[in-house]
Structure 1
Amino acid sequence: MAPDFFRASGETIELVVRLTPRSGMDALDGIGRDDAGRAFLKARVRAVPEKGAANAALERLLAKRLGVAPSRIDIVAGATARLKTVRIAGAGADLLDALRALG
């Protein structure tokens, strides 16, 4: 069964991330679910949520952890919210395997 916090569509992957800024460290903390049962990837970064710093830190963290260039990662929804939709360009098998390993 595929994890339900991301979906592949053509040459892109979209994932739902719940970001906690001002953390003690940058980390991905597995999968969580909201009250409605929707899944999201839990992430935390040291950066503050000012002038896009936390979002940029999230993009760098995902790029490093998933082994992709940071330029392939964009936050497409929720830029000022804790729950974000992140799009990754290029849906290769290695990337899909890395995402499944997070779940």
Structure 2
Amino acid sequence: MFPSLLNPTGKTHLRIKVTTKQPKTEYINTLDDGTIKIRLKAVPEKGKANEELIRFLAKELGVKKDTIEVISGATDTVKLVRIG
């Protein structure tokens, strides 16, 4: 779904807006400013939503989970994620 977003020569940064406590985890759309909207099934408690976001992105992008990091917005609905 997102592999074309990855920078093959280095790190990639994605701005992601999440909605938690949803029926399932899924990609919704990409906004005009490039922000990616994702629904998460997890609750926003004790990092569970961030963990689920990382698992989802790793699966969709075909990368290892340990290459993905929430670098900004860990407790917010809008997050900056670094991959690579």
**Pair in the same fold by TM > 0.5:** yes
1:50 and 2:45 aligned: yes
| Aligned partner of residue 57 in structure 1, secondary structure | helix
- Dislocated runs of 4+, deviation >4 Å: none
Which residue number in structure 2 is paired with residue 92 of structure 1? Answer: none
Question: Which consecutive residues of structure 1, in runs of 5 or more, have no partner in the other structure?
Answer: 1-5, 90-103
1:66 and 2:76 aligned: no
CA distance 1:7–1:63, change in 2 (3 Å): closer
Structure 2 counterparts to residues 1-103 of structure 1, below 5 A: 8=7, 11-33=10-32, 38-89=33-84
Count of equivalent residues? 79
- Report the aligned-residue RMSD: 1.5
The one-letter amino acid of 1:46's match is K
User: Aligned-pair distance for 1:29?
Assistant: 1.3
| Aligned partner of residue 35 in structure 2, secondary structure | strand
1:2-41: CA deviation from partner (whole Å, max 9, x where unpaired): xxxx685x510000000111010011112024xxxx3300
Q: Give distance in 2, aligned partners of 1:7 and 1:65.
A: 11
User: Aligned-pair distance for 1:55?
Assistant: 0.5
Q: Give distance in 2, aligned partners of 1:23 and 1:12.
A: 30
| Aligned partner of residue 31 in structure 2, secondary structure | strand
Query: Greater CA radius of gyration, 1 or 2?
Result: 1
